Amino acid sequence: MVVSEQTLVTGKQLDTLCVNTIRTLAIDAVQQANSGHPGAPMGLAPVAYCLWQEFLRYDPADPTWLNRDRFVLSNGHASMLLYAMLHLAEVRKVDENQQVLKELSLPMEELKRFRQLGSRTPGHPESHITTGVETTTGPLGQGVGNSLGMAIAGKWLAANFNRPGFDVFNYNVYALCSDGDLMEGIGGEAASLAGHLKLSNLCWIYDHNSITLDGPAEWSFSEDVMTRFVGYGWNVTRVTDANDLEMLARAFDVFLKTTDRPTLIVVDSHIGYGSPNKQDSNASHGEPLGEDEVRRVKQFYGWPEEAKFLVPEGVREHFREGIGKRGRELRAEWSRIFSDYSQKYPELADRLRRMQHRELPEGWDKNLPTFPADAKGVATRESSGKVLNALAQNIPWLIGGSADLATSNKTTLKFEGAGEFQAGKPAGRNLHFGVREHGMGASVNGLVVSGIRAFGATFFNFSDYMRASIRLAALMEIPSIFIFTHDSIGVGEDGPTHQPVEQLGSLRAMPNLVVLRPGDANEVVEAWKIIAQLQHQPAALVLTRQALPTLDRTKYAAASGVAKGAYVLADAPGGKPDVILMATGSELSLCVEAFEKLQGEGISARVVSMPSWEIFERQDAAYKESVLPSSVTARVSVEMAATLGWDRYVGPKGRKIGMTRFGASAPLKDLLKFFGFTADRVVSEARQAIAGS
């Protein structure tokens, strides 16, 4: 079939025309950018077309519809596939106030700006930039991990909000993934847990194209993926030709009829032209085709060779009559049901509205514990568990769990009605991720982009396993909550394999992440207040295994100072110290003890608690000067971690007590003495700082 801008076709020819429009838009965008991956969009265009045009319950005119099906492009290098679909389906743009605009999310000029500075079409899809992108993908495996969280969210929302005659939630989650997604360990973790939880609303579409960036997949990947997924407890079906729309439709029907497990659809596709008889090596290696090859490809498709970004007549209209019309009718029917639901269950409807806008319920901070002064004190993981349980009772959509360490992380929700999220019992608020830190991090993000405030917890040292997910939460500007306990060499006998040293500095280097390391139980309360109110930033809450003294707040400053990131806890007479002692977390009490000793020696000192550098850096210059006056150059920092970053606070004449090597296996008291985390050491360093200032 030869195409011109006035080509009028129907039936299967129209399907082919639409598929080739998707392909050529991808080809032209990649070629114009001289950067990107044209092969995967070319091979997968029929898959995306069939899913969106015939099955996806999605209204392009309202991308915020609560019960929309979710589509995740886990193989984010194929971003032009998604961008072409968003353009052709005419998905509307949504502003920062969640208002749907008349403007398209991706008008044609944005496709032409693919991979250019400031465009809505970056190299890999970013959800905070482009309406219609459900989650930011690119690092392989993260998207399918997110889809796990989205599917859990769908089951949880249905169990908690649906009422007889009111199916407010029954959406499905589709994730398109590649060999790379399934090679990455996170993909296996997510698949394993999804199968265990029997998430029948989850469908992964595996692009089986036998190609990786290095070359043929057989060089590095020969496992029987289908058998593996059967072992995970998935339903598995196969489409032997990605171009066969009828076979694809049957596979999607199989998914919709499968009610007891997730579904994997293995699609045999061909990188390049999309034809089993044509395969292009450049496309397979993620490079633009080149002008000559572009002309040959378009000739193969019957496309005008010189036309660029061509959308033939009838294509947009076909999408309007397909996904546009179906989505509009489905949403209208849902809106009618939800209107009646809102009248009958106004409290639940208000709850959903708040969730969608990341608002908190009235009284979210009521009945939070306060902790009396106690020299023996309590571990911050213990006090955090108490605060978390109080908050979760006030915020009904705060849910989460641990990577098999809930009893150690103190993250179990224990109040009446909290329950466990399990297959067949999805209303529970305690999630059990098993020993799957990678999958947990990604699924927490998937839960959060679905409107739920979710947390995941593990030992701080294992935050390294979750780093990609933490980073993407920060990039997406979503308020995921990551709880890390056993935060230092205070872990003791478990030794350096479990003792975090470099993790604090590493997370502090991450843009848009709030790191909080509270110094006693009441600082924990204040830290949780900050976390609860976050809307566009994830938080890492870093907590101790060992007990810390609960400071006497009638003697020292109120813990509410945590709200500014750092505050003066104890001060010299007249507010004129000779030396400033700074610390976070468990080391704060060492500075307080040293403060008292120095005071006894007639040395004026100030103690500054610094639980969050990021929040402190947001304060104005006057406040920062009031806490750390530039006139006082004698300063000492104390933290059981790498000292990287403390230079900005101690200055060139200050002293740093920290870790310059990995820890060791020994009882805590021996480790503290060996590594110099004692009040006497702080006093000694303070004297030296004064002498050198």
Locus of tokens 């700006």: 113
pLDDT score at 23: 97
What would the 3-class secondary structure string for 187-239 be? HHHHHHHHHHCCCCCEEEEEEECCEECCEEHHHCCCCCHHHHHHHHCCEEEEE
Q: pLDDT per residue over 607-635, tens digit each?
A: 999 999 999 999 999 999 999 999 999 99
Counting Cα atoms < 13 Å in the Cβ hemisphere of 607 gives: 29
For residue 270, what pLDDT band results from cuts at 50, 70 and 90?
confident
DSSP-derived 3-state class of residue 580: strand
Counting Cα atoms < 13 Å in the Cβ hemisphere of 252 gives: 23
Residue 397 to residue 351: CA distance in whole angstroms = 9
Locus of tokens 């044609």: 108
* 394, 366 contact by CB (below 8 A): yes
Question: How open is the CA angle 39-45-51, to the nearest 5 degrees?
Answer: 145
Report the pLDDT averaged over residues 681-686.
Answer: 98
Type of residue numbered 527 = A
For residue 606, what pLDDT band results from cuts at 50, 70 and 90?
very high
* pLDDT of 411 strictly over 90: yes
Percent of the chain past pLDDT 90, that is, above it, reads 93
Report the pLDDT averaged over residues 425-444.
Answer: 98
Q: Whole-model pTM?
A: 0.96
* pLDDT of 277 strictly over 60: no
Backbone CA torsion sign across 276, 280, 286, 292? negative
pLDDT score at 99: 94
Locus of tokens 């935050």: 463
Locus of tokens 């407890």: 233
* pLDDT of 128 strictly over 70: yes
Q: Report residue 204 as tokens.
A: 């992964």
Q: What DSSP designation does 35 have?
A: -
**b/e code 291-306 from CB counts within 10 Å (16+ = b):** eebbeebbeebebbee
Report the pLDDT averaged over residues 379-396.
Answer: 98
pLDDT score at 4: 59
Class of domain 561-692: alpha beta
Residue 518 to residue 584: CA distance in whole angstroms = 6
Q: Do domains 11-331 and 561-692 have the same CATH topology?
A: yes
Among 505, 438, 442, 449, which Cα is nearest to 477's? 449
Of these residues, 134, 437, 523, 685, which one is catalytic? 437
For residue 275, what pLDDT band results from cuts at 50, 70 and 90?
low
Residue 183 to residue 196: CA distance in whole angstroms = 20
Count Cβ atoms below 10 Å from residue 547 Cβ, excluding itself. 17
User: Any idea where the domains of the chain sit in the sequence?
Assistant: 11-331, 374-549, 561-692
Residue of 10 and 86 predicted with greater confidence? 86
* 431, 421 contact by CB (below 8 A): yes
For residue 279, what pLDDT band results from cuts at 50, 70 and 90?
very low
* 657, 681 contact by CB (below 8 A): yes
Report the pLDDT averaged over residues 111-122.
Answer: 98
Provide the CATH topology of domain 374-549: Rossmann fold (3.40.50)
Compute the residue count for the chain. 693
* 571, 555 contact by CB (below 8 A): no
**b/e code 167-195 from CB counts within 10 Å (16+ = b):** ebbebbbbbbbbbbbbbbebbbbbbbbbb
CATH number for the 11-331 domain, one of 3.40.50.970, 3.40.50.720, 1.10.3760.10, 3.40.140.10? Answer: 3.40.50.970
* 525, 551 contact by CB (below 8 A): no
Report the pLDDT averaged over residues 93-116.
Answer: 96
Residue 546 to residue 377: CA distance in whole angstroms = 9
pLDDT score at 7: 54
Locus of tokens 């609560």: 66
Residue 94 to residue 96: CA distance in whole angstroms = 7
Q: pLDDT per residue over 17-64, tens digit each?
A: 999 999 999 999 999 999 999 999 999 999 999 999 999 999 999 999
Gyration radius of the chain's alpha carbons: 28
Mean pLDDT (the chain) is 95
Q: Which residues contact 50 (CB under 8 A, 6 or more apart)?
A: 245, 248, 249, 252
Q: pLDDT per residue over 208-262, tens digit each?
A: 988 888 888 889 999 999 999 999 999 999 999 999 999 999 999 999 999 999 9
Report the number of secondary-structure helices (H) and strands (E) in the chain.
26, 22
Question: How open is the CA angle 296-301-306, to the nearest 5 degrees?
Answer: 55
Q: pLDDT per residue over 559-575, tens digit each?
A: 999 999 999 999 999 99
Helix (H) or strand (E) holding 186: helix 185-196
Q: How far is CA 415 from the centre of its chain?
A: 27
* pLDDT of 660 strictly over 70: yes
- Active-site residue flag, 437: yes
pLDDT score at 284: 42
Counting Cα atoms < 13 Å in the Cβ hemisphere of 436 gives: 24
Counting Cα atoms < 13 Å in the Cβ hemisphere of 346 gives: 1
